[in-house]
Each structure stands twice: as C-alpha cells, then as structure tokens.
Amino acid sequence: LKMKEDFKEEIKISRLTVYPLKSCKGIDVKRARLTETGFEWDRCFCVIDKDGEFISQRTVPELALVETEFRGAIFEDDEEDDDFDDENSTMERVMEEDVNDDGVNDVNETESMMKDAKLILRSPNCADECEIPLLARKEDMSGEVECSVWDYCGVHLAESDAVNEWISRAIRVPGAKIVRWIGTGGIPERFNKYVSTSDRKSRPKRPLDERYAKNGGETAFSDGYPVLLAHESSLDDLQKRVVMGKELFNLAGSEVKMNRFRPNVVVSGGKEWAEDKWLKIETRARKSKSDGGGGGGERGGDEGGLSWDLVKPCSRCTIPDINQETGIFDKNREVSRALQKFRSGTVLNSQTKSWANEVFFGWNMITSAPGGGGLKISVGDVVTAKELRPNLSGGGGFM
C-alpha cells in the first residue's frame, strides 16, 4: 500500500547528465548508453596533480567553470533525428553510434572521420579552447602515469603536453594533467583501440565497494559508484529550508540548483525523499498512445525495463556549497548547514554509526544488466519502485 501511495503521481526521468571530465561541467543528453562503468563517456577523463592525485572542486573550485562539449564530423554527418536538440546533438550522436557485439561500428566510419571527433574544453581563464582527440594514439599522449582517486590507483594515459598545459592555466594549478580511462567501459572500444590492450582482463579495473554493491560492479573516475540519482521534489524541499536559513541569518545567496549535486539521473514527480525508501527500481520507456498501450514508446519496440539497485545514499562533501555558475565557495555553507539539520546520519537515525555526522542527498545506483549490456536509459522513462527498504517501509531508520 505504501508503495502505491508513493507512486500516485507518475515519476519519470526528467534529466540525464554525462560528465566527461571529472568535476567539470556536464552535458545534458536525452539518452545514455550503459557500459561496465556507468554511462558512456561519464568520468572517463580526470585531472591529476603533479603527484598523480585526482583534483576536484573540493580543492580547486574553478573546475566548476570548465565547460565540456563533444564535436566532430563523425557525429554531425549522421542522419537527422528529430529527438536531437542542436545544443546536445553532438553528444547524443557520440552515445548513439550503433556498435555490434565486438564493439565495431556498424556504419562505415573512416579513420579520418574518427580523427575529427574531439572533446572541447573552455574556461574563462583561457582565451583559447582545448581540443582532446577522442581517438587516442600513444604517440599523441604524454605518457603513462599513475592516477589515484580515493583508494584506487591505476596506470592510465596522460593527454598531450598541450592539453596538460591548457588545464594547468584553466585551473591555475602548475603541473596538472588530464588522464584518460583505458580500462573496460566508459569510452567506446573504437576510440581506445590504439591505447588499450585487447586483453580485457588485464586492463585497469576499479571495483565497487562490495559492502554496498553486493553483486559487484565497476566504475571509472567517479567518486565511487557509476550512476547517481537525485529527485527534483527533494531539491525543492531543500531549497525551501535554505531560504528559511537565509532569512533567519539575514543572508543573501543564489538559488540552489541541481547541478551542485552532480547527478547523472534526475527524476520528477512523487513525494520528496521518496527515493530513501527505494531498494530496487525499474526504468521503462513510456508507452505512447499510438502503441495502443503495448509498444515500447519513444524507443520503438518493446525493449523491456532496466532494473536498478540503489545501493548507498550519497554523502555530500563541500561541492554543494560551490556555485556552479561562478565557481565561488560559499563560506557560510548554507546548503550544508541546511542539510545538517534534517539530512544527517544522526537525524535520519542511520544504522551505520560512522555516518552520524555525514549529510546525504541522492542515491548511488547500479544496474543489474551485465556490463551495462549496451542498453539505454532515456529522458521520459517511467520510474517504478520494485522493492522498498525493509527498515524504511516499516517506519524504521535510515540504512
């Protein structure tokens, strides 16, 4: 009964975002293809310092100002699709290229077209754009480097000296480099074919924390999990509380936007914080009227739903206190202060003692499809809870 009550109003995916370069601006897309490490192209590039440690907005807020865009004739020459917006069409086509089971393009791509595909970076600190070729060749890279992201350390490839010099200027960190993921997943095989070994078992691999991801899984340069879900209704509730705090302390500030939380999947509809109850959900293309209720809706055909496990609530660091439009850190920490009042482990009655002083917004989730299966998730997909958390569905505390 409670599950039905939570879903009286239809819940659907309202936004999908891919973040090619970790901690920089993302790209909104209408569809995303799933791989072993999450969405294709998501967190497949990472900025590191001279010691090989990853750099994020936690220490360099100016990363928030670095814009990302995919560009190249290889994508723009595809047949027009009415579902593509001009703004996002290149990214959509990067992710929509059809491949066969061996990762080989079904369309007749030429090497020259592959060379035209680029990841473009822009920053207010640099007059020039930065171009990163998506088709990687070892002779164009600056070499192998050890890259550390939290407790993960692996050998990856640093981009060219010109790219590394640009990112150093953009974020004002001497010696900074951009490294490319060369493990399985993330970057389509055809773009890493010259730099990643054909022996998939010997590639760098970053497994998930099995305390929470019981069935295993992998990620690339994300903080710890492949896909992050957030709820618009929950953000609205947080926004109201932040405004109340501003009025109480006579503070001025900007609107709290979803981009401060950097989710891949945003859902709309339903009650705020309903996501806390979800243990397993399904996302499925909405059936159109023309289908007579029996078709696959926007995707065409009945592809069936995608199953997801919400494995761990996302504990928040200082990034939600950074304005993503200005790159300025809010010293008053209005967002964190508001979250502390009603979203801390203590207030949520968490069963995990180490979470007592953590604050939470959003949920890390993984799909049950093996290796992502090349399956796609789309804006407009309907979200349905398939299983609720036993403790929360019974009125108990947080996990």
At residue 149, the 3 state secondary structure works out as strand
Measured CA to CA, the distance from residue 325 to residue 308 in angstroms comes to 31
Instruction: Let me know the angle formed at the C-alpha of 19 by 381 and 181, rounded to the nearest 5 degrees.
Output: 115
H or E element at residue 308: strand 306-315
The answer to whether 14 and 379 are in contact (CB under 8 A) is yes
Task: For residue 126, count other CB atoms closer than 10 A to its CB.
Answer: 15
Task: Extract the tokens encoding 127.
Answer: 């007059």
Instruction: Name the nearest CA neighbour of 226 among 247, 240, 205, 245.
Output: 205
Each residue's pLDDT, cut to its tens digit, for the chain (399 residues) gives 455 555 567 999 999 999 999 999 999 999 999 999 999 999 999 999 999 999 999 999 999 999 999 998 544 433 344 443 444 445 555 555 544 545 444 444 567 777 889 999 999 999 999 999 999 999 999 999 999 999 999 999 999 999 999 999 999 999 999 999 999 999 999 999 999 998 988 999 999 999 999 999 999 999 999 999 999 999 999 999 988 876 655 555 558 999 999 999 999 999 999 999 999 999 998 765 444 444 333 343 345 789 999 999 999 999 999 999 999 999 989 999 999 999 999 999 999 999 999 999 999 999 987 667 779 999 999 999 999 998 765 556 678
Report how far apart, in Å, the C-alpha atoms of 139 and of each of 74, 77, 305 are.
22, 28, 43
H or E element at residue 132: strand 130-133
What one-character-per-residue DSSP string does 53-72 give?
A: BB--TTT-GGGGG-EEEEE-
H or E element at residue 245: helix 232-249
H or E element at residue 385: strand 382-388
Kindly report the pTM of this predicted structure: 0.88
At residue 340, the 3 state secondary structure works out as helix
